[in-house]
Structure 1
Amino acid sequence: MAESGAVAGIERHGRPRDPENDAAILEAALDLLIERGAAGTSIEAVAQRAGVAKLTVYRRWRAKDDLLMAALEHARAPDMDAAMAGQSIDELVSSIAELLSRPRFRALMARVIGASVDYPKLVTAYTERYLQPRLNALAQIAQQAIDAGHLPPDTDPSVIQDVLASSIGSVLLQRADDVTAAQIERRLRILLRHIGYWS
């Protein structure tokens, strides 16, 4: 995501960007987004939490939406993105369950969902840049499972996509902090078996 007023790591006034400041600002924005939601997060509060001047934040991100989107990009798990395309459904289910078992990740996603009314651009950008590519990869993995005979030949890959996406959404809406990866994985596997998946 291109940042407002900054190009190739140089601030608008020509001074080199400080990577430590960038990381501190983005981590502070994430913390506040999780604690207070998008409506309760301000650039002033982010600057205070990060221990930097307010102007330091504004030089990088002129608007709160830009800052929050950058914070969500910062929170992405690159290893998960890279692995999806080459995973089997079994491997994918295990990695999804591990990710969904993290309380911080679930809290962050709940805040993103909750921002849909007041901050639709933020949610749209997140969906287009983060969620939709993963759903597309999920459909490809489902098609590979059909081709390999792990699902009935007449299975629509979008059905697998919908089943897993709906189940993921249900887990994200749960408030319990003690849900384990094993519990989530078991639930996902039961759903897959009900639609004919066998490994």
Structure 2
Amino acid sequence: MTGQRGRPRDPDVTVRAVRAAITVLAERGMRGFTADEVAAVAAVGKASIYRRWSSLDELLVDVVVDLGVREVPWGPLPGSARGDMVALLTAACTGPRAMAEVELLPVIGRDERLHRAYMDGPVLRLVAAVAELTSRAHRRGESVGFRGPAVAAAVAVLHRRMATRGQQAHPEWVSDVVDTVALPAVPR
């Protein structure tokens, strides 16, 4: 009999390992980011991690691509521009992905591979979310032009607060940033 020897690879291990890496980064930061920790959280052996990624740096590339906004709970139309902005910023700045993103931002800025992964993952998803934000406004009949830089600035303000306080964004933070950063920058 020919073919693969030993136990067949579990195709779900890659997904579990990336999710585990995000959890480890969110909860323990870069200092706690080890193959042992990721393997323990993913409930796999450390060898499974290194079979898929030659180093933790390689795993970080896949983690970075996976960060950022996934789904925004927009709510039903009509809604409001402010409500939609709150929904977007809450989705972008809460949960393990957001905390892991905040932890990785200094590293992303110094590593070209991570920077490319960030542009191809989280940044593209944020751009798509801003397009949906604008589309929802237009369907309501609002002549509002949401711009990526305004939303990115709001996310950056929240990320900075998250980094300095070591916690994800609170609803009060989001409301404050929507009212003082995001909405004033929107041309009407």
- When the two structures are superposed, what TM-score results if normalisation uses the length of structure 2? 0.67
State the shift of 1:111 in Å: 1.7
The verdict on how the C-alpha distance between 1:49 and 1:138 changes in structure 2, with shifts beyond 3 A counting, is: closer
Identity of aligned residues (%): 14
Q: Unaligned 5+ residue runs, structure 1?
A: 1-10
SS at match of 2:89: helix
| Corresponding residue to 1:53 among 22, 28, 45 | 45
CA distance in 1, matches of 2:54, 2:105: 23
8 Å Cα contact 2:34-2:56 kept in structure 1: yes
| Matching residue within 25, 32, 39 for 2:24 | 32
1:187-198 residue pairs with structure 2 within 5 A?
187-195=177-185
Once the two structures are TM-superposed, the CA of residue 186 in structure 1 deviates from its matched residue by 3.8
Q: Which residue in 2 is equivalent to 1:4?
A: none
1:196 and 1:73 map into 2 onto residues whose CA distance is 28
Q: What pairs up with 1:15-26 in 2 under 5 angstroms?
A: 15-17=8-10, 19=12, 21-22=13-14, 24-26=16-18
The equivalent residue for 1:163 is 150
Cα 1:65–1:13 change in 2 (3 A) is: farther
CA RMSD of aligned residues (A): 3.9
Count of paired positions: 178
Task: Tell me the CA shift for residue 196 of structure 1.
Answer: 6.1
1:135 aligns with 2:122: no
CA offset at residue 192 of structure 1?
4.8
Once the 2 structures are TM-superposed, how far is the Cα of residue 125 of structure 1 from its aligned partner? 0.8
Q: Distance in 2 between matches of 1:12 and 1:118?
A: 41
Q: Which moved more, 1:96-105 or 1:119-128?
A: 96-105
Aligned residue number for residue 3 of structure 1: none
1:50-93 CA-to-partner distances (Å, cap 9, x unmatched) read 4533221122223323322333455666433x969x98634431
- How many Å separate the matches in 2 of 1:117 and 1:76? 16
Unaligned runs of 5+ residues in structure 2 are: none
For the 8 Å contact 2:130–2:148, the answer to whether it is kept is yes
